[in-house]
């Protein structure tokens, strides 16, 4: 499995003090420096979410990171015309379409691809025309996987939030759902990624799921970085993924 490190919360820390983002000469922490550390530590890509409310990552961050990254950019975005135009200008390696609710603290569930199929189709077509690979951030459900495949997307990212928030038998039931969804999606020819709530403990269960190509992990790594440093936090997660 590959690791994509989500650095949104590095920007969150910056925005708490410097609402103007990197415009202030002393704004810190620097997301470019964070991305470089993650790459040197072995990350296979950098994930960022450009939200409509710009609560963490800013437009300038996206363009500056695109110019600097030595690996790849995975840009998470809602299906909105404004953010789509930015994505088409930046041309990241990958775009992951996600649901977005301004009142949420973090993404609360998977995108309803089946229910918004017609609205998503032109967005996927425009991204593909620009040479950008497309993923759908979805619940581990067959209907959503089938809809993603019919849209022509190359990948799905299975939302692991319910699994991460559960305990005991409920967690193992959620793991079984992810396992079944991964096998089903792989059988349809889709690359299978996963993310949301994965940490240094539950990774032991996640790594048993077959066909997972990439995990996108952010909060747990940034939180661990407070104690172990960002380089150490990334290296620890990669080691846990390989254990």
What is the Cα–Cα distance from 27 to 88, expressed in whole angstroms? 28
Cis, bond preceding 87 (omega within 30 deg of 0): no
What digits encode the pLDDT tens for the residues 200-231? Answer: 999 999 999 999 999 999 999 999 999 999 99
User: pTM above 0.85?
Assistant: yes
Label residue 64 exposed, middle or buried (CB < 10 Å: 0-12, 13-18, 19+).
middle
Q: Considering its fold, how many domains does the chain have in total?
A: 1
Q: Is 76 a catalytic residue?
A: yes
CATH of the domain at 235: 3.20.20.70
Question: What is residue 178's predicted lDDT score, i.e. its pLDDT?
Answer: 98
The 10 Å Cβ neighbour count of residue 187 is 11
Crossing angle of helices 59-68 and 81-90, in 10° steps, is 20
pLDDT at 105 over 70: no
Mean pLDDT of 45-55: 96
Q: Is the pLDDT of residue 21 over 60?
A: no
174 pLDDT band, cuts 50/70/90, is very high
User: Does residue 49 have an active-site annotation?
Assistant: yes
- Catalytic: which of 139, 157, 196, 214? 196
Question: Is the peptide bond preceding residue 98 cis, with omega within 30 degrees of 0?
Answer: no
Active-site residue, 116 included = no
Please tell me which residue in 9, 39, 44, 76 is annotated as part of the active site: 76
In this model, does residue 98 exceed pLDDT 70? yes
- pLDDT score recorded for residue 108: 63
Give the domain extent around 156: 2-242
Annotated active-site residue in 44, 49, 159, 179:
49
Measured in Å, how far apart are the chain's first and last C-alpha atoms?
11
Residue 180 has pLDDT above 70, yes or no: yes
Average pLDDT of the chain, as a whole number: 95
What is the pLDDT averaged over residues 48-66? 96
């Amino acid at each position: 499995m590959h690791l994509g490190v989500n650095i949104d919360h590095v920007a969150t820390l910056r925005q708490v003090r410097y609402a103007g983002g990197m415009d202030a000469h002393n704004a810190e922490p620097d997301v470019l420096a964070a991305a470089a550390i993650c790459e040197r530590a072995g990350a296979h890509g950098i994930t960022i979410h450009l939200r409509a409310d710009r609560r963490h990552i800013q437009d300038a961050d996206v363009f500056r990171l695109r110019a600097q990254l030595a690996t790849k950019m995975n840009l998470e975005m809602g299906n909105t015309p404004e953010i789509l135009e930015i994505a088409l200008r930046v041309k990241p390696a990958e775009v992951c379409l996600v649901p977005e609710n301004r009142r949420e603290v973090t993404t609360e569930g998977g995108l309803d691809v089946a229910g918004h199929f017609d609205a998503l189709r032109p967005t996927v077509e425009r991204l593909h025309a620009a040479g950008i690979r497309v993923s759908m951030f979805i619940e581990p459900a067959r209907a959503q996987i089938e809809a993603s495949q019919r849209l022509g997307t190359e990948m799905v990212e299975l939302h692991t939030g319910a699994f991460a928030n559960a305990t005991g038998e409920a967690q193992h039931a959620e793991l079984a759902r992810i396992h079944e969804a991964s096998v089903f999606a792989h059988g349809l020819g889709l690359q299978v990624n996963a993310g949301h709530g994965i940490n240094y403990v539950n990774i032991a269960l996640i790594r048993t799921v077959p066909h997972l190509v990439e995990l996108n992990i952010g909060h747990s790594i940034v939180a661990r970085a407070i104690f172990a440093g960002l380089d150490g936090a990334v290296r620890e997660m990669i080691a846990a993924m390989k254990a």
